[in-house]
Structure 1
Amino acid sequence: MANEPLERMRLDKWLWAARFFKTRSHATQAIEHGRVKLNGERVKPARDVKPGDRLEIRVGDADWTLTVRALAMQRGPAPVAQGLYEEDSAGRARREQQALERKLAASPAAAIKGRPTKRDRRRIHRFTGD
């Protein structure tokens, strides 16, 4: 019985095993705050997930759309965890586009008005001759 493949498991435990969240409590909080949807609807952390289910996950600024391929009782290395799901190609393209936009966006320090940075101070001193 110990070697039988799993048919179902808790959603929060699967998210932890698939390495989307560092702890099960973080996975539980994300589910409760509506950042995880199972087959298009909000669910509770104890909801069972099975192979073939579709998940929409929001982790930070990244949106994941994926299909559950397998279940695992333990949290393993990243390559094993990536085998537990299959990412939607459109979702992957959208996530990569979001990452590119964040990379090309102006740094938050540039938008702040107030104290000059160390680099700005050096430029000011060089300009004023102090």
Structure 2
Amino acid sequence: MRIDKYLWSTRYFKTRNMGTEACKKGHVRINDQIAKPSREVYPMDKIILRKNQINYQFTVLDTPKSRVGAKLLDLYRKDTTPKEAFEHTELLQYSKDYYRKNGMGRPTKKDRREIDDYLESPTGSNESEE
């Protein structure tokens, strides 16, 4: 079975075209080699998939005939993704929420002044040297 079809049938991507695009961008590796969309997948292949800033790691156990339900996924793959990958994503989410809530828009005058103060160097080397 092709890798793009396998990723679609095991519900890593919503459409097969999304799986193809991920392969073309180099986000899919089979046994530590970058995979093209037409690369065949066999049982016991180790796949690394980069999606949403997470490196998913799993081993192919079997190839399904068509797209499978979420409850049956463990028959076709063994997930070996470390928990640290998901914890890193949570930390990124918290750091984004700290500064500005979603939909708050452009920086305020106060925010702009703080940005300018941060960008200015304490020695004044940003000014033209004449």
- CA spacing shift, 1:11–1:100, aligned 2, 3 Å: same
Over the aligned positions, Cα root-mean-square deviation in angstroms equals 2.3
Aligned to 1:109: 100
Kept in 2: contact 1:17–1:81 (CA 8 A): no
Report which structure shows greater RCO (CA 8 Å, sep ≥6). Answer: 1
TM-score by length of 2: 0.71
Give the letter for the 1:101 counterpart: L
Aligned to 2:115: none
Aligned pairs, number: 106
Is 1:35–2:35 an aligned residue pair?
Answer: no
**Displacement of 1:83 after TM fit?**
3.0
Match of 2:79 among 65, 87, 102: 87
- CA spacing shift, 1:115–1:24, aligned 2, 3 Å: farther
- CA spacing shift, 1:115–1:21, aligned 2, 3 Å: farther
Is 1:63–2:79 an aligned residue pair?
Answer: no
Aligned to 1:12: 4
**Displacement of 1:92 after TM fit?**
2.6
Kept in 2: contact 1:75–1:81 (CA 8 A): no
Aligned to 2:41: 49
TM-score by length of 1: 0.71
Q: 5+ residue gaps in structure 1? A: 1-8, 117-130
**Displacement of 1:115 after TM fit?**
7.9
- CA spacing shift, 1:11–1:115, aligned 2, 3 Å: farther
Q: 5+ residue gaps in structure 2? A: 111-130
Aligned to 1:25: 17
Percent of aligned positions that are identical: 25
- Determine the C-alpha separation between the residues in 1 that align with 2:84 and 2:21: 25
Q: Secondary structure at the match of 2:65?
A: coil
- CA spacing shift, 1:67–1:114, aligned 2, 3 Å: same
Q: Secondary structure at the match of 2:64?
A: coil
Kept in 2: contact 1:18–1:82 (CA 8 A): no
Q: Secondary structure at the match of 2:100?
A: helix
